Structure 1
């Protein structure tokens, strides 16, 4: 039956569907996952090399910001051209779209995110110290002064950010621009994460990458809204009205790009999130979402896990 779907879009939808299924079934620590994630491993090494080359504490801030802009432009162009070249190559290969789907699966963060949340839950159930060490390893936060409620909030906020950043955004940019757009997004997003905020010179060197990543992520965060709304309808205990109320509250998260995502999870789960976030020696300020709501617990992490999985 002809549904009136253009052939190119029809193939893209099938590619995305297979990519999601492959991510859920293969993209953990298997050999297949490691093989198809090789391009992003190489990209990470390139980003490290660029930072070592240009991000020196001795360089003045003005020159460092100019370097930041030039690095962001270079990564955008490099990612786009790599994706374009690979896309043209795969078009010449029989069933090349299957390889296309596996490459997308390798950069999706859905299964890794769900696995990390299960690991955090187990570590918190084991002991407070183990929970702190696990969350620090996964999120990069300084958790020395956090209790179980604070650690639970950090885990849920990580899910809220990861749903749009690691799952919706790659699918969106592939749907809009194929592998060129996907690779450009992943290079910029990976670089913005790798160039951390543990020193002043790292913050100034990474400013163009952070802003570029925010531009890529903004439409994905808005696109995640209907999926989270639908997911809340089939997740026990999730409150749709609370989520809508928190989405309209205009609170500012420590990473402002993700304010809407954190607000939705706070409202849907009926729990307090947000506040200041410490990364190394640098503390980011942020509003508290749901000040009159109860603090999160391990059971709230499980609920957030279900909400993300069902929305996905």
Structure 2
């Protein structure tokens, strides 16, 4: 069984089964183990002088270890590779979390706020219904890239070692890749490597959203909107999702009690949105997943 066939099967398993809670109540999820390892490195090395050098050393050690571990696991054959790839993809989990926000809003605004607080880091206590919906859609688009398309692409390129290297870098970025006094130097390498590894996947994700969404002819506008984002990559799937669903995304939002002014993405799109806009975004998430799965299937047959 070739790598593309393994990926196609793994994507189906993830989409059908999602995260088996009964299993992760008994065993730590691989992402949790990665987080513990990175946290240990943070506690041991993020102090004193030469923090940037220590952060580079930690990242290189994590990447080397993940690659070697992936290579060893791949020796156990396609079944192990398929199961691990399915575990490390997150389409079903992503859709479930985004749908929970729509379901919450249909109950009440506080329920929607509680649901969206599970998937975004911005302040949610004072969010309007429109802000809750925008946050859910933005999170869905960005995590489609980070959680499904990027790991799938790196699995196609380098098998299980490539997938594990990507996941350890992405996890490190989410934990230490911040421009804060504590992590500006120590997390610099993790943030930059994550940007590099997501450079192509983010743009591919935008394409996968735009193509079935019927907005590929707006690619220049998508590219222009993507450039407004503070991240070199996250703006691409967000801009494509805004066009594909006909809504305006981004805009002002609060972090740690401070209102920050962000540019609107597809500012001409609808702003008075709610659960139905989230439903439309979920449809786009599944359409993009389907195109990626079809690509894997075609490659498997070649």
- TM-score normalised over the length of structure 1: 0.83
Question: Is the deviation greater in 258-267 or in 220-229?
Answer: 220-229
C-alpha contact (below 8 Å) 2:248/2:270 kept by paired residues: yes
Q: 3-state SS of the aligned residue for 2:198? A: helix
Distance in 2 (CA, whole Å) between partners of 1:278 and 1:203 is 21
Pick one of 292, 302, 309 that aligns with 2:279.
302
Q: Summarize the Cα distance change of 1:282–1:189 in structure 2 as closer, same or farther, 3 Å threshold.
A: farther
Q: CA deviation at 1:43?
A: 1.6
Match of 1:4 in 2: none
Match of 1:151 in 2: 132
Q: Encode CA deviations 1:93-148: one digit per residue, 9 max, x unaligned.
A: xxx20221110000101111000011111122222222223222222222234211
Match of 2:79 in 1: 98
Match of 1:127 in 2: 108
Q: Summarize the Cα distance change of 1:47–1:284 in structure 2 as closer, same or farther, 3 Å threshold.
A: farther
Q: CA deviation at 1:156?
A: 0.6
Q: CA deviation at 1:278?
A: 4.2
Pick one of 62, 67, 73 that aligns with 1:75.
62
Q: What 5-or-longer segments of structure 2 have no aligned partner?
A: 290-302
Q: CA deviation at 1:241?
A: 4.0
Distance in 2 (CA, whole Å) between partners of 1:285 and 1:67 is 34
Q: Summarize the Cα distance change of 1:204–1:299 in structure 2 as closer, same or farther, 3 Å threshold.
A: farther
**1:18-33 alignment runs, 5 A limit:** 18-31=9-22
Distance in 2 (CA, whole Å) between partners of 1:259 and 1:267 is 12
Q: 3-state SS of the aligned residue for 1:139? A: coil
Match of 1:245 in 2: 221
Pick one of 263, 288, 295 that aligns with 1:311.
288
Distance in 2 (CA, whole Å) between partners of 1:206 and 1:223 is 26
**1:108-119 alignment runs, 5 A limit:** 108-119=89-100
Distance in 2 (CA, whole Å) between partners of 1:70 and 1:111 is 35
Distance in 1 (CA, whole Å) between partners of 2:28 and 2:154 is 18
Match of 1:221 in 2: 202
1:52 and 2:43 matched: yes
Q: CA deviation at 1:32?
A: 5.2
Distance in 2 (CA, whole Å) between partners of 1:251 and 1:222 is 12
Distance in 2 (CA, whole Å) between partners of 1:229 and 1:12 is 26
C-alpha contact (below 8 Å) 1:254/1:284 kept by paired residues: no
Q: CA deviation at 1:283?
A: 7.2
- TM-score normalised over the length of structure 2: 0.86
Q: Encode CA deviations 1:167-218: one digit per residue, 9 max, x unaligned.
A: 1111111111111111111001011112364942134432211111111111
Distance in 2 (CA, whole Å) between partners of 1:277 and 1:171 is 31
Q: Summarize the Cα distance change of 1:177–1:290 in structure 2 as closer, same or farther, 3 Å threshold.
A: same
Q: CA deviation at 1:307?
A: 0.5
Q: CA deviation at 1:77?
A: 1.1
1:40 and 2:22 matched: no
Q: 3-state SS of the aligned residue for 2:39? A: helix
* CA root-mean-square deviation: 2.5
1:184 and 2:165 matched: yes
Match of 1:170 in 2: 151
